[in-house]
Structure 1
């Protein structure tokens, strides 16, 4: 695993990484719980031709670890050469965090696997959470790594062997997760012109029935749980948090509001969406109103009851 500390070696690695179309990238940050976090490492796995190696150990030799702690000039070179380059796809997990240290809005062509997994149907990504290590283990079948180094001090030097190994595995796990998520996303891309409508309709009816039963059961249990937690003054049980609050809704006649706005010359102008009944009442005088019409298409499905019901 190329753990690079010499500025010349780091610049050479950055130059090498500009020659590929995709990079899997992660960072380690020192003092991340303080007001002045410091970028410690940039971990990079460049894309390569062919299949992924069968062994994580073989994979680890492909990763670059760039030691940029308190070296802002090297971080700037990475940002300018790679992060700002739209021709190179940079893949992160929870990209918004890493981009705080890697160029923010300068970054171009960034893919976030956390955002990707959140877009996919939950039944296709059945994992206990969306953390990178969890996705790697539960979605890709990789061994769960020792996460104790995640909270370690990334501001110390020299780094321990365990820290270096932990940091090296991150972009590897990211690559596996990214590849698997892209496969799942590809499964969701279907041509509606060739989809089997008969099969889909049958599955839709089956799921509608299951959802109706689950919603009924959920509503029943939810009502009982709320009442029980309120009566027993329990604010939290497991991951369920109970609270109560009073919500006030303020209402006033529209005619009185319009009168007051005119009298006081208030800056209270806004676009009002007209209901069907309001449009009917205004039909005769609608030409006296500046009106825009937004038209959208709504696709609906309706379950038809059997004739014998």
Structure 2
């Protein structure tokens, strides 16, 4: 695991990383709970040709740890050379956090495995949460790492062996998770022209029936819980938080509004969507109105009950 501290070695590693099409990247941040967090490490696993090794130890030897603590010039070089290069895909987990330290809007061609995981159907993912370590363990079968170092002091030097190992495993776990999520995403992108309609229809009917029962039960329990928490003045219990608020809806007759807008010459030139009933009343005079028509196709499914047949 090349833990690089010398600026020349770090620059060489950055130059090497420009030769690949994909990088799995993570960061460690010092003082992250303060108003002035400092980027401590940039961990990079470059993609490589050939089969993906099943050994974590082999992959650990491919990871670069760039020590950039209080080295803004080296961080800037990484941002300008790597992050701003649209030809290199940079994969992060919860990318929005890392990009705070790695170029923000300068970053090009960024993939976020957190967003990718959330885009997949929950029945396919079947993980207890979306944390990287959880996805790595529950989705990819990797051993659960010691997470105690996650809260350690990344602003101290020298880093401990445990910290270095923890930081090295992060981009490796990220690579496993990314590859698995991409595989699962491909599974969701079936060709509709060849998909098995009979199987899908049977599954759709089953799920609709289960969802209707679940929705009915949820609505019943939700109503009882709201009433009970309100009556007993319980603001929160376990992971359920209760609150109440008043919502005001302002209404006015359209004729009065139109009259006032005209009298006061208000800049109220909004486009009104006409309902079916409004269009019927305007049918005889519609040629006197400037009107645009937007047409869209709506696809609908309905489960036919035995009474309908």
Fold conserved between structures, TM > 0.5? yes
TM-score by length of 1: 0.97
Residue number in structure 1 paired with 2:136:
136
Residue number in structure 1 paired with 2:181:
181
Distance 1:52 1:208 in 2: 40
Give a deviation string over 1:113-139, Cα, whole Å, max 9, x none.
011111111111111111111111111
The SS at the match of 1:145 is: coil
Residue number in structure 1 paired with 2:301:
301
TM-score by length of 2: 0.97
Q: Summarize the alignment of residues 1-309 of structure 1 with structure 2, pairs less than 5 Å apart.
A: 1-307=1-307
Distance 1:163 1:292 in 2: 63
Distance 1:121 1:85 in 2: 32
Q: 1:119 to 1:308 in 2, by over 3 A?
A: closer
The Cα of 1:57 is off from its aligned counterpart by 1.9
The SS at the match of 1:282 is: helix
Distance 1:244 1:280 in 2: 41
The Cα of 1:257 is off from its aligned counterpart by 1.1
Show structure 2 runs of 5+ residues with no match: none
Distance 1:299 1:308 in 2: 20
The SS at the match of 1:142 is: coil
Tell me how many residue pairs correspond in the alignment. Answer: 309
The SS at the match of 2:306 is: coil
The SS at the match of 2:11 is: helix
The Cα of 1:71 is off from its aligned counterpart by 0.9
Task: Name the Cα RMSD after superposition.
Answer: 1.3
Distance 2:290 2:39 in 1: 55
Distance 2:92 2:112 in 1: 5
Show structure 1 runs of 5+ residues with no match: none
Give a deviation string over 1:101-154, Cα, whole Å, max 9, x none.
111111111111011111111111111111111111111111111112112221
Give a deviation string over 1:153-177, Cα, whole Å, max 9, x none.
2111111111111111110110010
Give a deviation string over 1:167-206, Cα, whole Å, max 9, x none.
1111011001001101110110111111111111111111
